[in-house]
């Protein structure tokens, strides 16, 4: 997916003994978005923006050991051994030399045949990470100016971690003019190094440079144009995060010292075998307990009491990604944790006073946001006419930020329709769910509309569900109310087998639990999203509703 950026110069930092100026250069191809002010919470901002950088560069995928030096040493030893053989036994040496020549020829032929394949496989990441690593920082940072706050968003290198830093305007003094909107910013590794120089005794000026939009087109040479072919998975993962944020989960607060204890255990020990998980034991009215496997080391959080309605035991993997939160411990008041379930995503919102930092982690490192989650399939999915969805989005645009219930009251619409419309706009990349405040915000991920035909169906299950729903005349779906939620029971013929399904949908039209007799669900539960039979049951109920 090709994204075009154009910057008027580069983001820059001016630093003296008493003053630091931070100027971000926005993408001039997008609508004018700018802001300026002086930081009054300098050290907390430095730590938070640095934690965001740690998210951007994090890559916890398995990497094989670099054997370059060993192979060079082995080659030297081999050459020395061959030289000794040739000196002591000329006949044996000649035979050995002939075999080595044959092996070299075979290896050269193999490399020649496989070269196009290897080149096609590695072209994007080799160019991006090795030839121009600074360009990676242009991909991720997305900055949005809203009436109530300014926030940054980014995605990790392995596409399994999401970071968001929100700053309300109490963080700034002497604010200048601002224009609300979303833009990409020029953000290099050198700029991160300059962030580390922010000090309390130095005045720090922060600016999303409006001057970038005032440069005359006659000075075209002053612009720096960038065209980046982003993988679809990067964009799709960005869309999945907001869908996962809207799902119900288990919530509790952690004291900063409890998070410190978690990081302390992870720093002190190195697992050599599985399971590599944290098992959270949650009992109402009792301190949160976390058990680190495989050592079964228990950390009790006496300052953090679980106030949920029911007890639960939840396991999460990819726990070393939590080390991103280390820099926030000295400046955080608390960490609000949301766990969607065992093997499901988890979210950690650091309360930094006038700032907040959200870390979103997929179920485990290899299970990145784009390929396996499909949490949009569990979001509200009521079918709405296009004009109604546009009306709801235009109402959200009026205030830039608003809760679904407030929108429903203002537009005199059922809450379910508003939730479904906002979920659709989230998947279109035009809105985002703010987990910290429980509201939706306008956020245009790209200047041009995203190609939803490429992003919507990351697998064949939803397409297959629509095919099943369209071709099934005898499918049986029974609906009944149970304790404030809707239960759907279905019998879905597929091939020569009829699969029995059971779905539970809450008042916000979200799929909160499900069951199916098919092999996909038996193997994966909801870790990879619902199966096609569960989706077909829901579609049939909506169409016959």
Average pLDDT over residues 489-509: 86
Average pLDDT over residues 420-443: 88
Indicate if 153 and 41 belong to the same structural domain: yes
Residue 220: band (very low, low, confident or very high) from pLDDT cuts 50, 70, 90: very low
Question: H helices within 246-385, ranges in order?
Answer: 256-268
315-to-86, 199, 205, 307, 372 alpha-carbon distances in Å: 62, 40, 43, 19, 18
* Residue 124 domain flag: yes
Which two tokens mark 329? 């411990």
Round to whole Å and give the CA distance between 314 and 289: 11
Indicate if 449 and 466 belong to the same structural domain: no
Indicate if 424 and 500 belong to the same structural domain: no
Residue 229: band (very low, low, confident or very high) from pLDDT cuts 50, 70, 90: very low
Domain termination residue (choose one: 176, 200, 216): 216
CATH of the domain at 349: 3.70.10.10
Q: What pLDDT, in 10s, does the model give residues 187-207? A: 566 667 777 878 888 888 887
Quote the percentage of the chain above a pLDDT of 70: 75
Helix (H, G, I), strand (E, B) or coil at 505: strand
Indicate if 97 and 26 belong to the same structural domain: yes
Tokens 């410190």 sit on residue: 260
Round to whole Å and give the CA distance between 10 and 186: 6
* Residue 281 domain flag: yes
CATH of the domain at 488: 3.10.450
* Residue 5 domain flag: no
Question: With 50 as the cut, is the pLDDT of residue 139 above it?
Answer: no
Which two tokens mark 55? 């998210």
Round to whole Å and give the CA distance between 210 and 528: 43
pLDDT of residue 303: 93
Of the CA atoms within 13 Å of residue 193, those in its CB half-sphere come to: 4
Indicate if 82 and 197 belong to the same structural domain: yes
Round to whole Å and give the CA distance between 505 and 545: 14
282 Cβ contact list (under 8 Å, min separation 6)? 250, 252, 288, 306, 308, 311, 312, 313, 314
pLDDT of residue 313: 94
* Residue 69 domain flag: no
* Residue 235 domain flag: no
* Residue 226 domain flag: no
* Residue 54 domain flag: yes
Q: What pLDDT, in 10s, does the model give residues 31-40? A: 677 788 888 8
Average pLDDT over residues 427-441: 88
- The answer to whether 6 and 225 have CB atoms below 8 angstroms apart is yes
Indicate if 446 and 478 belong to the same structural domain: no
Which two tokens mark 342? 């065992």
The side-by-side arrangement of strands in the sheet containing 172-173 is 12-15, 19-24, 203-208, 35-39, 172-173
pLDDT of residue 8: 53
Domain termination residue (choose one: 197, 216, 235): 216
Highest mean pLDDT among 119-128, 349-358, 491-500: 349-358
Q: What pLDDT, in 10s, does the model give residues 470-484? A: 777 667 788 888 777
Average pLDDT over residues 17-35: 64
Average pLDDT over residues 83-98: 70
* Residue 34 domain flag: yes
Question: Could you tell me the residue range of the domain that residue 124 belongs to?
Answer: 10-61+76-216
Question: With 60 as the cut, is the pLDDT of residue 109 above it?
Answer: yes
Burial label for 81, CB within 10 Å (0-12, 13-18, 19+), is exposed
Highest mean pLDDT among 361-370, 394-403, 454-463: 394-403
- Write out the DSSP string of 371-398: III-GGGGS------HHHHHHHHHHHHH
- CA-based Rg of the chain, rounded to a whole angstrom? 27
Calculate the average pLDDT of the chain. 79
- The answer to whether 38 and 204 have CB atoms below 8 angstroms apart is yes
Indicate if 398 and 360 belong to the same structural domain: no
Q: What pLDDT, in 10s, does the model give residues 40-84? A: 888 899 999 889 888 888 877 766 777 778 888 888 888 787 777
Round to whole Å and give the CA distance between 536 and 119: 41
Residue 377: band (very low, low, confident or very high) from pLDDT cuts 50, 70, 90: low
Round to whole Å and give the CA distance between 423 and 409: 18
A 10 A CB-CB count for 342 gives 17
Question: With 70 as the cut, is the pLDDT of residue 221 above it?
Answer: no
pLDDT of residue 368: 59
Query: Of 13-22, 176-185, 513-522, which gets the smallest average pLDDT?
Result: 13-22
Query: Of 136-145, 235-244, 405-414, which gets the smallest average pLDDT?
Result: 136-145
| Dihedral angle, C-alpha 82, 86, 89, 94, nearest 10 ° | 90
Indicate if 248 and 363 belong to the same structural domain: yes
Overall number of domains in the chain: 4
pLDDT of residue 265: 94
Indicate if 366 and 254 belong to the same structural domain: yes
Helix (H, G, I), strand (E, B) or coil at 507: coil
């Amino acid at each position: 997916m090709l994204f075009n950026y154009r910057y008027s110069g580069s983001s820059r930092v001016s630093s003296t003994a008493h003053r630091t100026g931070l100027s971000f250069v926005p993408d001039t191809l997008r609508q004018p978005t700018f802001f300026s002010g002086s930081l009054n919470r300098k050290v907390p901002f430095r730590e938070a923006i640095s934690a965001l950088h740690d998210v951007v560069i994090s890559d916890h995928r398995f990497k094989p050991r670099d054997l370059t030096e060993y192979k060079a040493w082995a080659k030297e030893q081999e050459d020395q051994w061959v030289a000794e053989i040739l000196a002591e036994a000329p006949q044996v040496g000649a035979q050995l030399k002939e075999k080595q020549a044959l092996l070299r020829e075979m290896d050269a032929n193999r490399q020649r045949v496989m070269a196009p394949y290897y080149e096609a496989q590695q072209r994007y990441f080799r160019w991006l990470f090795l030839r121009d690593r600074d360009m990676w920082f242009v991909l991720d940072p997305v900055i949005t100016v809203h009436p109530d706050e300014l926030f940054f968003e980014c995605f990790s290198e392995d596409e399994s971690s999401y970071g968001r830093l929100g700053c309300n305007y109490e963080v700034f003094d002497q604010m200048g003019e601002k224009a609300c909107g979303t833009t990409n910013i020029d953000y290099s590794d050198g700029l991160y190094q300059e962030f580390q120089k922010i000090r309390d005794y130095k005045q720090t000026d922060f600016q999303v440079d409006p001057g970038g939009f005032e440069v005359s087109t006659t000075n075209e040479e002053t612009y720096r144009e960038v065209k980046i072919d982003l993988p679809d998975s990067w964009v799709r993962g960005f869309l999945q995060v907001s869908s996962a944020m809207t799902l119900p989960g288990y919530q509790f607060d952690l004291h900063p010292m409890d998070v410190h204890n978690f990081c302390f255990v992870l720093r002190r020990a190195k697992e050599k075998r599985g399971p590599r998980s944290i098992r959270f034991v949650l009992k109402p009215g009792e301190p949160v307990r976390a058990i680190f496997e495989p050592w079964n080391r228990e950390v009790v959080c006496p300052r953090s009491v679980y106030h949920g309605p029911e007890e639960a035991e939840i396991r999460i993997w990819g726990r070393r990604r939590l080390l991103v939160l280390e820099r926030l411990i000295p400046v955080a008041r608390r960490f609000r944790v949301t766990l969607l379930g065992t093997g499901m995503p988890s979210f950690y919102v650091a309360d930094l006073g006038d700032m907040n930092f959200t870390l979103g982690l997929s179920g485990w490192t290899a299970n990145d946001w784009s390929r396996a989650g499909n949490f949009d399939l569990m979001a509200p999915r009521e079918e709405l006419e296009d004009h109604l969805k546009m009306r709801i989005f235009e109402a959200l645009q009026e205030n830039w930020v608003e809760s679904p219930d407030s929108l429903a009251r203002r537009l005199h619409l059922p809450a379910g329709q508003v939730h479904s419309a906002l979920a659709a706009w989230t998947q279109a990349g035009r809105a985002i769910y703010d987990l910290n405040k429980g509201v939706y915000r306008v956020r245009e991920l790209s200047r041009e509309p995203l190609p939803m035909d490429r992003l919507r169906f990351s697998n064949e299950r939803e397409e297959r569900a629509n095919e099943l729903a369209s071709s099934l005349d005898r499918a049986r779906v029974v609906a009944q109310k149970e304790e404030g939620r809707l239960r759907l029971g279905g019998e879905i013929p597929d091939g020569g087998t009829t699969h029995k399904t059971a779905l539970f949908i809450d008042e916000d039209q979200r799929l909160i639990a499900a069951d199916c007799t098919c092999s996909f669900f038996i193997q994966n539960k909801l870790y990879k999203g619902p199966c096609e039979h569960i989706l077909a049951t829901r579609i049939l109920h909506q169409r016959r509703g």
